[in-house]
Amino acid sequence: MATTTAAVTLSSDLMSANISVAASSTLMKAGTTADGLDMIDYGVIDIVTGDQFDLLDADNPSSSPIAGVMADKANKVYIANHSTDETYYVDIMIDAQAVGRLYAGDWMFIPWRAEDADADIEITANTGTNKIEYALFHQGRSLDAS
């Protein structure tokens, strides 16, 4: 079993007392606290303005021998926009539902249900060409037949 931890620290002087929130979790397979996620898809890609792309494909064709292997599992997704122009941003959607907007320098970390073949994680750049880093931690997924 692999042990992968994901931690967030939020720090701010917004309030009279400094905010310092820290959370950490070990990325586990669905329904267990003893077996960690052991697979990763990782990439860096340029997204040009205008088109909508599937950044991560839920891809659970019913005809596949491993259909549904990602569905309703404990998948985790990290996406960061490494653009440096503060006006550049990308929209993140799941099955055409807007779930996030990443301006230059922003990142997100979310659980991804991938509940059916339509639940792809989609990305659209709205300004410029955005350099996107992403990682999917999962316990197995299907590949497109060649």
Does position 49 interact with another protein (CB under 8 A)? The reply is: no
Exposed, middle or buried: residue 119 (CB in 10 Å: 0-12, 13-18, 19+)? buried
Residue 28 interacts with another protein (CB under 8 A): yes or no: yes
Residues 100-119 binding another protein (CB under 8 A) are 100-103, 105-111, 113, 115
What gap in Å lies between CA 107 and CA 135, rounded to an integer? 11
Does position 3 interact with another protein (CB under 8 A)? The reply is yes
Decide: is 53 part of the binding site for another protein (CB under 8 A).
no
Q: Work out whether 44 is an interface residue with another protein (CB under 8 A).
A: no
Tell me the two tokens of residue 76.
């985790």
Binder of another protein out of 64, 69, 78, 128 (CB under 8 A) = 78
Check binding of 45 to another protein (CB under 8 A): no
Residue carrying the six token digits 């659209």: 124
Do the Cβ atoms of 93 and 122 come closer than 8 Å? yes
Structure tokens at 86: 């503060």
Helix (H, G, I), strand (E, B) or coil at 34: coil
Q: Which residues bind another protein (CB under 8 A)?
A: 2-15, 19, 21, 23, 25-26, 28, 30-33, 38, 40, 74, 76, 78, 80, 86-87, 89, 91, 94-95, 97-103, 105-111, 113, 115, 133, 135
